[in-house]
Amino acid sequence: MILKKTFLYLVLLAIVAVMLLPFYWMLVLSTQTTTVIFQYPPPFWFGDNLVANFMQVLQSVNFLQAFSNTLIVSVVYTVLVLLFCSMGGYAFAMYTFPGRETLFTILLVTLMIPWTVGIVPWFFMMSKFGWINNFLALIVPGAANAFGIFWMRQYCKQNIPSSLIDAAKIDGLNEWLIFFRIVSPLLASGFAALGIMMIVGSWNDFIQPMLILRDNSLHTLPLMLKYMQGDARRGTDVGALMLASTMAVLPLLIAFLSASNYFMSGLTAGAVKE
Amino acid sequence: MSRVKTLGFWSTFYRHRVAYAYIAPFYILFAVFGLFPIVAGLAISFFRWDGVDPMRFIGLQNYFRLLTDGLFWKSLGNTALIGLISHVFILGGGLVLAYVLNSKLVKFQNGFKTVYFLPMVTSAVASAIVFKALFGINNGLINFVIKSMGFEGVDWWGGNGDFVKVAVIAMFSWQWIGWNMVIYLAGMQAISHDIYEAAEIDGANHTQVFFRITVPLLKPIILFTVIQSTIGTLGLFTEPYVLTGGNNLLGGTDNQAMTVMMYLLNKAPYGNNLYGFASAVAYVVCAIIIVVSLVNMKLFDRDETASTAARRKK
């Protein structure tokens, strides 16, 4: 039994090592010069070129600009998603109205359609709207999405007692007040989990920004990294590229690690339970 | 209900206006940004169109050209191979990990979960840049390990392109195993502990419990992840694109890592301007997704999963 457990721990720890290795390697290379990186054997431990790499990042791209672009897009998008999806999920969970089942089935079916089916007309719509090089193209279309509504509906069903809503109605509160004063606070950890999912998705999104944001000054972090990777004129400075990658992923990693217990329990509580 | 029926459509609507207002944003946005492009895409796929000149109706020609293009079949084959091998780890590995972490066999479950989930919160572009370095030919960590075991270093990116897919598969699996693990964990936590206890009393071992109890009870959730994975795999783009250098959408040496999504975007709007042709590609890909999903539903015993899903809605 003890042998079996030790083996199990060893396997789990080996997987931990595999999962963490790319992060470690990224950090190590962030502190090395390109010359050292291209030596054999490659460096395994941190070097002393961090500051120089940092200066190189600032010199070759406008990191702060890309960072604030990413922040604006992902925060505005996430706030809208939380608002619209909690309203929609709440309505599906707590109200009875004609057509509810049909409308919800339609919503579930849309989850099964990949958005890329209509990618060509979608792209044309964006240019007709004047939304090429415009953050709105990345924010508006998904602001009320099927996944979020489905998810918030599950969450509402488990966490909002209908007696509470009835009591509030008897007290004469109108529907908006009930939603914002009584329901919203009960959804806090649901908001946190869905919010993390949405902000992560938007922060790291690559295909849509690649199609929409053609102007360098509007680049989000993934586009900036891609630009640095393909910057043939300067020759790729691997150390700087690794440091820029680290700087692009660190904010989310820190946010996730500090909220991970909260997030994991929110995710597993709300996700697929009946 | 009968009273509602006697009311007119508009008064029914008015009575439930709050609920309709709450769910309206989704249907409006989906109609404009989802449904309309999907319908228009079908129409465009019957035309030759470069985006500027007038459209010219050519019937099914785009589809014929697509289905006779060897590169399309190659990219489809690449995508299928990458998807199938990766999902042994992503779905199979995710399921086993979830089982181990859900049974009380080990401690520090939250720690393990968090680490396994980390790649999910990491930008695919950044990860791909790191994986490209890991798989570096002369100075990558992987080749260092291979060489120090006394073998020849592998030419991951060049040669005849045999090994290009390995890096894509490695990265794809690394990224997604944690996400599926978390979904399965959520499903497993919904399974009553009484069932496990009863199995334990009956003397079932972990392999038996896993295959006879956990997997069958998780069927609907496994089906859900399989369908989501099908969609995800056929949309696979960022990883192979950045791993193969990001200069074009051709998937590296001998197109060995060209996925259907790269093939599509290479036609339009990112590479060329073959908008009608690209729409045809999008529709064929969607058809493949639907067929694969239907086959999976059949395989997973359609009756059971469909009816439980329907029951759950009520």
From B313, B18, B111, B248, select the one nearest A230 (Cα to Cα): B248
Taking CA atoms, what residue in A is nearest to B260? A116
Q: How many CA atoms lie within 13 A of B42 on its CB side?
A: 7
Of B313, B296, B119, the residue nearest B223 (C-alpha): B296
A264 with B4: Cβ contact below 8 A: no
Measure B175 CA to nearest chain A CA, in Å: 9
Q: Is the pLDDT of residue B313 over 50?
A: no
Tell me the per-residue pLDDT of B24-80, one tens digit each, with 9 for 90 and over. 999 999 999 999 999 999 999 999 988 788 888 998 989 999 999 999 999 999 999
Give DSSP secondary structure letters for B236-288.
--HHHHHHTTSS-SS-SGGGTT--HHHHHHHHTTSS---HHHHHHHHHHHHHH
Q: b/e for B239-258, b at 16 or more Cβ within 10 A? A: bbbbbbebeebbbbbebbbb
Average pLDDT over residues A104-112: 90
Report the b/e string of A251-268 with b at 16+ CB within 10 A: ebeebbeeebeebbebbb
Q: What is the band of B311 on the pLDDT scale with cuts at 50, 70, 90?
A: very low
Give the start-to-end residue ranges of the domains of chain A: 61-229
Which range among A148-152, B152-156, B235-239 shows the weakest confidence by mean pLDDT?
B152-156
Give me the residues of B, 247-306, that contact A with CB < 8 A.
247, 261, 264-265, 268-270, 275, 278-279, 282-283, 285-286, 289, 293
Which residues in chain B are closer than 8 Å to A9, comparing Cβ atoms?
Answer: 106
Q: What is the pLDDT of residue B8?
A: 80
pLDDT digits (tens, 9 = 90+) for A40-66: 788 889 988 899 899 989 988 899 999
Q: In this model, does residue B303 exceed pLDDT 80?
A: no
Q: Is A157 an interface residue toward B (CB < 8 Å)? A: no
User: Could you say which DSSP state residue A172 is in?
Assistant: T
Q: How many CB atoms lie within 10 A of CB A133?
A: 14
Q: Residue written as tokens 């020759």?
A: A235
Percent of chain B with pLDDT strictly greater than 70: 93
CATH 2.60.120.330 fits A61-229, yes or no: no
pLDDT score recorded for residue A190: 86
Domains parsed from chain B with CATH numbers: 2-44 (no CATH), 69-313 (1.10.3720.10)
Q: Minimal Cα–Cα distance from B307 to chain A, Å?
A: 13
Measure the CA angle with vertex B37, ends A219 and B55; round to 5°: 100
